[in-house]
Amino acid sequence: MSGKLYAISTGPGASDLITVRASRVLATLDVLYTPAGRKGGDSLALSIVREYLGEHTQVCCRHFPMSADSAEKEAVWDAVAAELYREVEAGKRVGFITLGDAMLFSTWVFLLKRLPHPDWLEIIPGVTSFAAIASRSGTPLAMESQSLAVISCTSPEDEIRQALERHDSLVLMKVYGRFARIKCLLQEANLLDNALMMAEATLPNEQCWRNLREVPDDQELPYFSTILVNKQWRN
């Protein structure tokens, strides 16, 4: 096949934090697929890369449902993966953009499972949200022989508790809607003084909380909220 597919990581939010490689590829695309969390909604990923697109690039926005309905989500993944394949088969240079890094908690991996692994596919890595948070807040992710765990707050409570006990440094992602539970677990582990939370890192509305005791349990948080914990680093 003469076409090519690029899975392009856009980084945490600021448009100047995408990689040089990503910016060069974006300028050459015939078609760019971009995800949206709701039908007719704006795409944050698209807003990050728009300045790098060529005038000829066609933009196709696709809604990926956030519901718990597995059948609904799988139907969308099947349809979009097939669409990407057809575009490449037609000889086009096709891009699919995703926030952060394409291989970490990303919609892209569900499409990847539905595609072959040929030489016409390239995945371009990106800056993760927690790497940006560490830099913005001056918090080391891991030092010397420390272990680092990346945990989804959608995990069972016992698994999060065990991770807090076993690892020296942790990234707690998907905090949105689960803050009170996570705060309680951090307090139980005596780690509140070693934790900070940041929302919308590198974006204009970035917020950082260095004292989680002062954050009310019912605080309404932005969707992109993450907690960093380092047992050898106090805020």
Domain CATH number, residue 29: 3.40.1010.10
DSSP β-bridge partners for residue 197: 209, 227
pTM across the whole model: 0.92
Chain centroid to CA 57: how far?
Answer: 24
Co-location of 138 and 108 in the same domain: no
| 141 neighbors 150 (Cβ within 8 angstroms) | no
- Of 109, 127, 145, which residue sits at a domain end? 127
User: What pLDDT is stored for residue 42 in this prediction?
Assistant: 67
Co-location of 38 and 114 in the same domain: yes
| 45 neighbors 10 (Cβ within 8 angstroms) | yes
**Mean pLDDT of the residues in the chain:** 94
How far is it, in rounded angstroms, from Cα 177 to Cα 123? Answer: 31
How far is it, in rounded angstroms, from Cα 30 to Cα 94? Answer: 6
HSE, side-chain direction, 13 A CA sphere, residue 215: 24
- Of 89, 108, 127, which residue sits at a domain end? 127
User: What pLDDT is stored for residue 117 in this prediction?
Assistant: 72
How far is it, in rounded angstroms, from Cα 207 to Cα 205? Answer: 6
Backbone angles phi, psi at 208, to 5 degrees: -135, 130
User: What pLDDT is stored for residue 235 in this prediction?
Assistant: 76
* CB count in 10 Å sphere of residue 200: 20
Co-location of 122 and 135 in the same domain: no
What is the sign, positive or negative, of the torsion defined by CA atoms of 100, 218, 140, 148?
negative
What domain range is 184 assigned to? 130-230
How far is it, in rounded angstroms, from Cα 230 to Cα 235? Answer: 10
Chain centroid to CA 29: how far?
Answer: 22
Co-location of 79 and 56 in the same domain: yes
In which residue are the tokens 């595609």 written?
115
Domain count, the chain: 2
| 1 neighbors 90 (Cβ within 8 angstroms) | no
Domain CATH number, residue 198: 3.30.950.10
Encode pLDDT of 21-74 as tens digits: 999 999 999 999 999 866 555 689 999 999 999 999 999 999 888 777 788 899
For 147, residues 6+ apart whose C-beta sits below 8 A from its C-beta are 166, 167, 168, 169
Kindly state whether residue 235 falls inside one of the protein's structural domains: no
Mean pLDDT of 94-100: 97
| 5 neighbors 119 (Cβ within 8 angstroms) | no
